[in-house]
Structure 1
Amino acid sequence: MSDTDLLQLLYNTLPALIVAGVSFYFFKTFSENENRRRRFLLHQENQKTALPLKLQAYERMALFLERISPGNLLIRIKPESSDKIQYSNTLVTTIDQEFEHNLAQQIYISNDCWNYIKTAKNATISLIRQSAADNTVENAAMLQEKVLTILMDEDAPTIAALTYVKNEVKEIM
């Protein structure tokens, strides 16, 4: 092969190699963009499905917090007898049952929000138990009075959690 033949071969193959390289680059870029677009559409479709479930979970947890709020709880659950221990156990059992009924909602809400809710639940139970353990409280009616008196001086434990739930819903919307 002479130099002119080699040069002629180079002139013929060089444009083909350049076209092949540019084609490969554009095909690769197009494929990556198409994959990103598909992932975005899939994510968007998942959001359409997940958003109502998330909102429902927040709604249920807000309802849970309202139901276990000591003021609402004492109005809703009347004492069956005058025994303060039995009444406090009934209140705590009601709170635990409500909580267990909503356990699955933690999948759809943030960990921080779930921790606020658990803390509110535990603080409410603690408030009831501490009030029942008070020696000045002799019966169920006095237990109700004691809890309501405490709530007049300080916020219900559920208020902070309910505020947190509302703020998270605002962020989602």
Structure 2
Amino acid sequence: MEEQIIQLLFYCIPAIVTGGVAYYFFSLHTKNEEGRRRYLLHKESQKDALPVRLQAYERMTLFLERIAPASLTINLTPVTDGKDDYENRLIQQIETEFNHNLAQQIYLTEDCWGIIRAAKNTTIQMIRKIAMSEKIDSASKLREAILTEFMDKQAPSATALSFIKKEVSEIIG
């Protein structure tokens, strides 16, 4: 009887080893196939999402170009002679443009969106700071002072625009 058990073990051990090896290779193959499918789905979704992301970067580029102090003051002429009215009009235009593009943040990186928001807020702060000057008493002088201030300095929107260009070049490759 003992001999029969040993013979049975000699027959079963190779079958168990073969079954274990087959199971290992089958599970490895299944994992590889699942990974390949995920990769193909991700690649396909990236292909579909890329144009939308690039469009978001384009829209934010337009936003930054529109809020650049030179563009802003050229496109928005003073309606009255009051500097406060002109200051409020400039700031309202920046806020309106920004609010119009709020949804684009879902397609941008956190860093990029943060830099764009910082550019917007810094531009508004600089306009307010220039408008506080005692020397400026009319809308035309405020406009002139804003243009003069940003001739010597790089506008915050230009810095954000450089960041966008860098990110887009990394996306495109």
Q: Give the equivalent residue in structure 1 for 2:171.
A: 172
Mapping 1:112-127, distance limit 5 Å? 112-127=111-126
- Cα-to-partner distance string for 1:56-104 (whole Å, 9 max, x where unaligned): 1111111100000000001111111111100110110000000001111
Task: Detail structure 1 runs of 4+ shifted over 6 Å in the superposition.
Answer: none
> How far apart are the structure 2 equivalents of 1:157 and 1:61?
14
Q: Unaligned regions of 5+ residues in structure 2, if any?
A: none
**1:52 aligned counterpart, secondary structure:** helix
Deviation at 1:54, TM superposition (A): 1.0
What is the aligned length? 172
**1:134 aligned counterpart, secondary structure:** coil
Deviation at 1:2, TM superposition (A): 3.1
- Counterpart of 2:146, as a letter, is V
- Cα-to-partner distance string for 1:95-125 (whole Å, 9 max, x where unaligned): 0000001111111111111111111101111
> How far apart are the structure 2 equivalents of 1:119 and 1:18?
64
Deviation at 1:126, TM superposition (A): 1.0
> How far apart are the structure 2 equivalents of 1:88 and 1:107?
31
Q: Give the equivalent residue in structure 2 for 1:79.
A: 78
Q: Give the equivalent residue in structure 2 for 1:107.
A: 106
Determine if the alignment matches structure 1 residue 2 to structure 2 residue 2: yes
> How far apart are the structure 2 equivalents of 1:2 and 1:10?
11
- Cα-to-partner distance string for 1:26-45 (whole Å, 9 max, x where unaligned): 11101110111111111111
Mapping 1:23-102, distance limit 5 Å? 23-102=22-101
Deviation at 1:11, TM superposition (A): 2.0
> How far apart are the structure 2 equivalents of 1:153 and 1:38?
55
> How far apart are the structure 2 equivalents of 1:141 and 1:168?
38
Between stretches 23-32 and 11-20, larger displacement belongs to 11-20
> How far apart are the structure 2 equivalents of 1:35 and 1:127?
54
Deviation at 1:7, TM superposition (A): 2.4
Between stretches 68-77 and 10-19, larger displacement belongs to 10-19
Identity, % of aligned pairs?
Answer: 49
- Output the aligned Cα RMSD: 0.9
> How far apart are the structure 2 equivalents of 1:7 and 1:61?
78
**1:80 aligned counterpart, secondary structure:** coil
Q: Give the equivalent residue in structure 2 for 1:160.
A: 159
| Structure-1-length-normalised TM-score | 0.96
